């Protein structure tokens, strides 16, 4: 029983880039983990980092990779290991609470045995992709904003459409997560069609790809000019509101910011 009491589960984000955008707390629990569970490609990133910085992981830590789409099963495995007294870390990309593994863990607990409610489970906050992308650009999230997961794997597409329309009408700067995947490319085109009905053609649109990682790309364009086909599974989209502004710079991507001050209508 003592072993059971000492087990824990920490749900963390690796940070969009790696070590420099990770919190001190997340690095500290990683170093103490006996088991690390996550999507294959996040584990590969972690192993690559650990090769350069051995202190990142205990050499005896067991890494458990699984496929995208297996989130609930992965969460259950993590909870079972913690219940057995193990020190377990479950990893997501940027922040585990934003379209990451945290919701899957609490779904698993909610649907699981009552004894799981007594486990030592904690989510550790991180830097989510939209904050990393925003920082690279200036301050596009400088006024009210929303985050929408464009995948319709788990919710009806009609809900996504309705949220896009209302978000555009509200004048929110809009962050679109998961605009496309290998098997899903139509949604981002439909999303742009809706946005074009409800937001000015000159609205700033940003394609932020692989921010902080190899192959980072930033494209600043307008709703009128944007080609939705440029979004892939590593892209985060930001759609400015009617007040979002670009500051041209010599020889560099323009800065983008949304003023804090708003006069009259959105």
CA 216 to chain CA centroid, Å, is: 16
CA distance 94 to 1: 35
The minimum distance between CB 259 and its own copies, in angstroms, equals 6
Task: Identify which of residues 60 and 156 has a Cβ nearer to its own copies in the complex.
Answer: 156
Which residues in 91-130 contact its own copies (CB under 8 A)? 95-99, 102-107, 109-110, 117-118, 121-128
**Under rule CB under 8 A, residue 144 binds its own copies:** yes
**Under rule CB under 8 A, residue 62 binds its own copies:** no
Total number of residues that touch its own copies (CB under 8 A): 80
**Under rule CB under 8 A, residue 184 binds its own copies:** no
**Contact between 95 and 126 (Cβ < 8 Å):** yes
Which residues in 202-261 contact its own copies (CB under 8 A)? 245, 247-250, 255, 257-261
**Contact between 145 and 173 (Cβ < 8 Å):** yes
**Under rule CB under 8 A, residue 183 binds its own copies:** no
Task: Give the β-pairing of 235-239 and 121-123.
Answer: unpaired
Which residues in 2-21 contact its own copies (CB under 8 A)? 15-16, 19-21
Point out which residues pair with 222 in neighbouring strands: 204
Which of 39, 145, 192, 207 lies at the binding interface for its own copies (CB under 8 A)? 145
Task: Identify which of residues 93 and 138 has a Cβ nearer to its own copies in the complex.
Answer: 138
CA distance 149 to 163: 10
**Under rule CB under 8 A, residue 24 binds its own copies:** yes
**Contact between 204 and 246 (Cβ < 8 Å):** yes
Residues 6+ apart with CB under 8 A from 264: none
**Contact between 240 and 144 (Cβ < 8 Å):** no
CA distance 61 to 247: 47
Span near its own copies by CB under 8 A; candidates 49-57, 131-139, 201-209, 216-224: 131-139
Which of 9, 30, 141, 188 lies at the binding interface for its own copies (CB under 8 A)? 141
The minimum distance between CB 122 and its own copies, in angstroms, equals 8
The minimum distance between CB 251 and its own copies, in angstroms, equals 9
C-beta atoms surrounding 192 within 10 Å: 22
């Amino acid at each position: 029983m003592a072993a059971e009491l000492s087990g824990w589960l920490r749900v963390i984000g690796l940070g969009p880039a790696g070590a420099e955008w990770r919190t001190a707390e997340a690095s500290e629990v990683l170093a103490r983990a006996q088991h690390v569970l996550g999507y294959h490609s996040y584990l590969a990133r972690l192993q690559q980092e650990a090769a350069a910085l051995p202190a990142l992981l205990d050499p005896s830590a067991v890494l458990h990779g699984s496929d995208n789409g297996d989130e609930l099963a992965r969460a259950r495995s993590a909870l079972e290991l913690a219940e057995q007294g193990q020190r377990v870390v479950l990893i997501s990309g940027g922040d585990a609470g934003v379209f990451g593994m945290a919701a899957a863990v609490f779904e698993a607990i909610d649907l699981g045995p009552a004894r799981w409610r007594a486990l030592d489970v904690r989510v550790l906050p991180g830097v989510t992709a939209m904050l990393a992308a925003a920082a690279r650009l200036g301050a596009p999230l400088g006024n009210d904003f929303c985050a929408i997961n464009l995948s319709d794997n788990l919710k009806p597409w009609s809900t996504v459409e309705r949220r896009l329309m209302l978000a555009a009408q509200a004048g929110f700067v809009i962050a679109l997560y998961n605009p496309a995947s290998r098997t899903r490319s139509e949604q981002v085109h439909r999303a742009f069609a809706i946005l074009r009905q409800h937001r000015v053609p000159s609205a700033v649109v940003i394609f932020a790809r692989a921010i902080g990682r190899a192959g980072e790309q930033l494209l600043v364009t307008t709703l009128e000019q944007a080609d939705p086909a440029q979004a892939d599974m590593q892209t985060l989209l930001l759609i400015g509101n009617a007040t979002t502004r670009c500051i041209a710079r010599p020889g560099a991507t323009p800065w983008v910011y949304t003023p804090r001050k708003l006069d009259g209508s959105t």
